[in-house]
Structure 1
Amino acid sequence: MNKNTINLQGNGAIVVKEAHGGGITIDTNDPADILQKLQQLNDAQIAAIKQLADEQAGQLSEVFKTSLRDVVSQKNIVGGSISAKLVKVGDTIYEYHYHDHTKPGIIPKALTAKIPKISQDKIIGRDAELHDLHTRLADNKQVVLVNGLGGIGKTTLAQAYIAAYWDEYRHVAWVSQISEDVISDFINTEWLLDGLKIQGKEKEARKRFIRIITELRKMDAGPNLLIIDNADRELARWYDYLPGQPLWHILVTSRERIEKFDVKELDFLSEEEAINLFLRHYARGTISREAIKELVTLVDLHTLTIEILAKTAQTRRTGIKQLKTALKDDLTANVYVDHKGGKIERVTSYLSSIFTMSTLTGDQLWLLKQFVCLPAEFHSFDLLKKLIRPEESRKEAVFSEILEELCARGWLLQNSETDSYKMHRIIADVLKRQHPVALTDVEAIIDSVTEKLRIDQNKDNPVDKFPWIPYGKSVLAINPDSDDAKISKLQNNLALVLQDLGDYERALELSARSAAIFQKVLPEGHPYIKTVSDIYQSIKDQMK
C-alpha cells in the first residue's frame, strides 16, 4: 500500500513523497532551494517536516531549521502529523509516514506562497518612504499606490514594508499582476485559493475571483495586508471590489498613475545614496568615488541600472570606461539581480525587456522620439511646443493629451509645479534600441534647434546662444554619421557657437564634418561650400 513519506537522507536532503506518486526533494544546505520548496508544500507536509526536524535536529543545517521556523510561523501551523516512522541505519535514512491531521478552517498568516521580504538594512535610503507608507495606510487610505519609473525600486520598497511591519498584520497576501487580466492574476496566484480554504467548485474565472474577494472581506479581525505588485490601470475597474479599511491595508506598486488610488510618488535616490548603492555591490576599490559619481549621474540615478553596473564591475572586473558606455554597447553583465530573478546576460537587452513598448500608439511613439532628441532634463510645455512644432505633424490638437497620457503611463516624468516634462536617460536608450529614430521622424525639431543656434551677426549676442548648445549636441547624437544636409547645417551653426564659447577643438571637428557633407551633397562650385570652408579655416587659425 502506498504511503505519504518523508525521507531524511544521509546527505541531508529531504525527499517528500505523496501516495499518488508526486514528490519534492529539498537541498537543506541551499537557502534558495529551501525557501522555494517549502513554499510548495501543504500544511500537512510542513507540519510533518517540523516534527522530523525536532526529532532529528542534529542531522539538519541551521539555515534549514531557521527557514522552516519562518515558514511555520507564516502559515500558522500547529501540531505534527507523523503517525509512524522507519529508521534505516545502513544508509542513514529516516523514513516518516504522515497523514493530514491539521485542523480544518485555520487561515494561515501567509495567504500566498510568494511573500518576498527584504530587510530595511539591505536597501539604501527609503527610510522616510517606508514611514510615509505606514502613516498613509494607518490613516485609513483605501489603496496606497507607489508610483514611479520602472526599475526605480517600487517592488523593493513593498518588500521592505512587509519586513518592517510584518508583526503588525494578521494575514498577508502578495499578488503580482503579470498580465493585463487582473482576475487571472488573482486566481492563479500560488496558494491563494488554498490559503483561504477555497475549494475549486467555481469553474468561471470571474466567480472564483469574486469568491477570493468575498473570503478576504469576510475576515473579522485585522489589520491585514494585501500587496498588488506591478499593477496597471485595469485594476481601477475593480477598485470597489477590493477589501477595505480598517481591516485591510492595500499597497499597490505601478509605473502608471491609477484613478481613485492615493498616489505615493517614489523619487530617485539622491546622488550620495546612488553612490552608496553602487558601493554596496562593488567592493574592489579600483574605481574612485569621483568616477562612480560621474557614472550614476550618467545613468540619471536609475536604481536598477546602478545595481547591474556595480555587480558587473565586481564580478567581471569591468573598468569605468566600459561602464560608461554600457548602455550604448549592450555590455555583457552575467550577474544576478532580484528584479525579475535569474541571470542578466547583457545590460541594455535586459533593460529593454522591462520597458516593452508594444502597447504604445503611433502618436505616443512619435512624441517619445521627439524627447530622445532633447537633453535629459525638464522642459516647459511652451518650449516643447516651440521645438517640436506639433502643428507640422498635424498633432497640435492632441499634443497636450498625448503628453499627459505618456506621463500617466510612466514613460515621461512630469513636474506639475513648473508644467515641465522629461524623458529619463534609460527610457531614451531603450527607445533608440527598440525604435531607432530616423531623421524624417524629427525634422521639425532639427530645424528648430538649428534656428536657435543660428547667429545673426547684425543683432545677436553669441552668449545668448550658449544655452542651446546641449540641444544641438543631443540632436546630433541621434545619428552622428549622417550626411543629410539638415544635419550639416546644424553642425555648422553649432560649430560657430562653440567657437564663440572657446571650445575650438569641438568646433573644428563639427565644422570639418559640415564642410565634408556640403561638398558631397552640393554641386561643385556652390557658394555655400566656400562659406563653410572659410569657417573651418577661421576656427583652425584661432587654435594656433
Structure 2
Amino acid sequence: MWTRKGHKVEVKDSRNVKIVIADTINQYINQQEVEIPKYLTAPPLRNNLFIGRKDKIKEVSDQLDKDNAVAIMNGWGGIGKTTLATEYYFLNIEKYDHLLWLRMIDSLPESLANPSLAKNLELELDPGNDLIDNARMVAQQLTNLKGNHLMVLDNANNIKDIHKHKDLLPQINWKVLLTTRGKLGGYTHINIDVLNQEHAQQLFYEYYLLQKDDDELNRLLVMIGRHTLTIELMAKIANNGELTIAQLSEVLKKEGLSSENLELDLSTDYDKEHDNLKEIFKAAFNYSAILDDETQASVFKHFILLPSIPVSLQDFLAWTGIEDNVKTKNALNQLVSMGWLKEELLIGEEELRVKRYFIHPLIAETARGTIEINEQEAVDFIDGIADKVNIAKYTNPLDAAEWLDFGRVLVEYYPDSEDSHISTLQNNLAQIYQDLGELQPAKELAEKALASVRKNFGEDHPSTAIRYSNLATIYQALGALQPAKELTEKALASDRKNFGEDHPHTAIRYSNLATIYQALGELQPAKELAEKALASDRKNFGEDHPITAIRYSNLAWIYKDLGELQPAKELAEKALVSAQKNFGEDHPQTTAVYNNLGMIYHALGELQPAKELAEKALASAQKNFGEDHPNTATSYANLATIYKDLGELQPAKELTEKAFIIAKKVWGEDHPNTVTIKSNLDSIG
C-alpha cells in the first residue's frame, strides 16, 4: 500500500550521532490529559553536535521577539539551517504555549493538511475535501489558539508556493521561522554562511575519531571549504575507510581535486561554488565504491530517484519494490555510516522513536549526474509514480499534485528517454501541470510523451491518439489553435478507425475538436461535433453522468456564441445540476459550469443571477487554483464584464486589471485571451 505517512521501525543509535531528547518532551509524552498538546507535531530530535553560530541563534531570537514576526534563515543547501532551527526550537520550548514543526515537501497546503496535526488540533479532515480546503481548516484552527506559539517551516524552498499560499500561515499569536535556500520578498533574511575555521575543525573531529592532526586538517579545509555537509561527509568517509587526514587529501587529489581550483567561498559566486561542491562529492563518491555491493547499489540508486524527503523503511520498500530483508537494512545502515544517506528520529504518536531516511539534495544532484540507472532497474517505481500522478484516479484532479515532485525527479533524471513507462509518466505529469496552469512545462512533457509513443507504437495506435489529444488541449490553452486542430483531427481519425463512431474515446475527440472549432470561430462544425459527442455520451453513460454534464456545458457555450441563448441556458442548467451532484459546489468542473451559465445569463440580460454565479466561480477558482491561474483570470474577467453592465465601473475596472495582470503572466501579451481582457480594460477607461 502506498502512503506518505511514517511507520515504525527498530531504532539503534549510530556511533557517530549522539541524540539527546529534551526532558520536557519526555515528560509531556507521559501526560495524556492535555486537550490541545503543546507539541502539535514532532520536531527532529535535538542533535548535540551543534557547533558555533550562537550569534545566529541570537539573530533569530531578536527577530522573533517582535510582535507576530517572521524570521527567515537563508543559506546554501547543506549549510546547517535545519540544525539551527532545531536548536532554536529546543532552547525556547518554555517560551511558547504551542510548537509546530513542518517540513515542507511539495507545498504549504500539503504540509498543513496533515492528519496527525489535525488530530492534535481536535479536527477531523474531510477526505471529500480538496487539499486547500483541509489546509485552510487547519490554518484557521491554528489562528484560533490563544497564547504565544511557534511554527517552524523547514525546507521552504518552493518560494512560488509560499507566496501563493502565504494567507495559510497563522496570523495571530504566532512566530514563524522559515528555512530556505531562496529569498522571500518583503522580509528580512538571516544569512547562514560557512563555519569559521575553529568550528569547522571541531565538527570534523566529532565524526572523525582516528587521529587529531590540525595542520593536515587545515590543508584539507582549504581544499574542501568549511561547508557543513562537506565536512561531515569527508569525516565519515575517512573514519569509515580508516584513512588518515593526509590520506583523505591524497584520495581527493587523485580524483582531480586541488586547493588551487576548489577553494570554496560560498559568499561569492554561488554557481561556481555549487559546481565545486558537486566535484568534491563526486570525488568522494568514486572513492567510496558504493556500487560494488549489489544491494547497497540498488538502495542508493532508488534514493537518487526520490525527492529529498525523509521516508520510513516501510514506505521506501513499498514504493521501490526492494525486498525487506537483512541485506537491505544493512545496506541502509552502511550508507548512513558513510554519510551518503541521512537518518532522522522523530517522536511518534504510537512509539517513542520513528526512524526515517533521506538523501541530501546536493548529494542527490551529484549522484544523478554521475550514476546511470537503466529504466528497467526502476520500472516498478516509475510505474507506481505514473499511477499516482494519473488524474483519472482522483475525484478532484488537483489532488494528484501531491505526487508531482516524485514524478518531476524521475522525468528530469530521464530527460531523453523513449521508454514507454517514462512516456506514460510524462503524459500524466503534463496533465497535472496543465491543471495547475503551468502550460510551458506541460507542453514540453506532452511533446516528449508523444514523440516516444509514436516511435514505440506508430501513428495509428490508441495510445498515440491519446497523446495527440492531450498535447492538443495544451496547445489550445496556449492559444496555438491551428496545431491544436491538426493534432485533434489526427486523434479523431485514429479513434474512429480503432473504436468506431460511438465509443467514449471518439466522443472525447469530437468534444475537444468542437471547442477548438469554436475558438477559431467555426461555430457550425463546432455545434455538429459537440452534438455528436453529447449523443454518444448520453447513450454510453446516461443523463446524469459527470462526462455527460461536461458535454452539456460545452454545447451550451457553443449555442451561446451562435446566439441560441434559450437552449444554451437549458443545457447549462442541466450541466450545473449534474456537476453539483457529482462533484460538489467547489470542484473545478463545477467552477467551469458556473462561469458558462453565468455568462449565458449575462447574454440574456439576467444580470443579478449572472453576478451571483460569476462570484461563485471566482471564489471557487481562487480556492482551487490560487491567484496566478488561467481559470482565476477568466473568472475575474467574466465578473468584471457583468459589473460593467450593471454600471458598477470601479469594481469592474479593478477586476479587469487583476485579470490582465494574471493573463500576461500565464498566457503572455499576445494570447487571444490576454488581448480580449486588455480590450475590455481599455473600454472601461
TM-score where L is the length of structure 2 = 0.36
Q: Which structure carries more helix by proportion? A: 2
Higher strand share: 1
Which of the pair has more CA radius of gyration?
1
Q: TM-score, normalised by structure 1?
A: 0.44
